A = this chain, B = another copy of it.
Amino acid sequence: MTAGGRRPRRRTYHHGDLRQELLRVAEEIILERGVDGFTLREAARRLGVSPAAPAHHFGDARGLLTEVAAEGFRELAQELTAADKSGGSDLTARLHAQGAAYVRFALKRPARFQLMFRHDKHDTANPEFKDVARQAYGVLENAIRAATRTAADESLTPDGYALLLAHWSIVHGFAHLVLGGEISAMKAGSDVTDEALLDSLLPQMLKHLRIP
């Protein structure tokens, strides 16, 4: 048991891997206390390190959280890409697979997911962050381009753009409803597992999306 108030003591003066460990516990804390519940002091406490130590690696909380969020976009882009490929040449299958991957990511990494869209917690000057976020977006855009026969050098048609947003909105909204507890509140009594949501409910929802 690695209980809450514990302050592990190191034997060495240097931590060795403080930077990585800070990124890890940040996510842990957000999961337990929400994005706004994160504090640098708590992160330091959990690693048995002085409150001033994190500043050495990230400057401030915003810097640390931005890196957590960036890592989230990197992972999301990766999983969207893998899902996209799994759809083969079937354009509808590609979009459905991407949608499932999006929601699966949100459920697997709720802390990161919520942080990723909290721009007030990001360091807007970080160029890396913008880059990886755009990359994740690009995976969806490419599938929409294929579905609407739009070459990479053309701009999306208004309708293609509307389809892109409809798709993004539906999976983004569903992820938020699930994480917010709206779905389980609605079906009070019968407890819904993540598997049921992903394997049965979400595909049924996506079938209602009209894809050219």
Contact = CB atoms under 8 A, between A and B. Distances in A.
A115 B183 CA distance: 17
A170 interface: yes
Contacts of A127: none
A181 interface: yes
A207 interface: yes
A65 interface: no
Number of copies: 2
Contacts of A41: none
Contacts of A117: 176, 180, 182
Q: Which label, helix, strand, loop or mixed, suits the secondary structure of the A interface? A: helix
B165 A174 contact: yes
A175 to B, nearest CB: 8
A176 B180 contact: no
Given A36-B36, A180-B117, A180-B119, A208 B162 contact: yes
Interface of A: 34, 36, 117, 119-120, 137, 158-159, 161-163, 165-166, 168-177, 180-183, 186, 201, 204-211
Which are the 5 A-B pairs with shortest beta-carbon distances? A173-B173, A169-B173, A162-B204, A172-B173, A36-B36
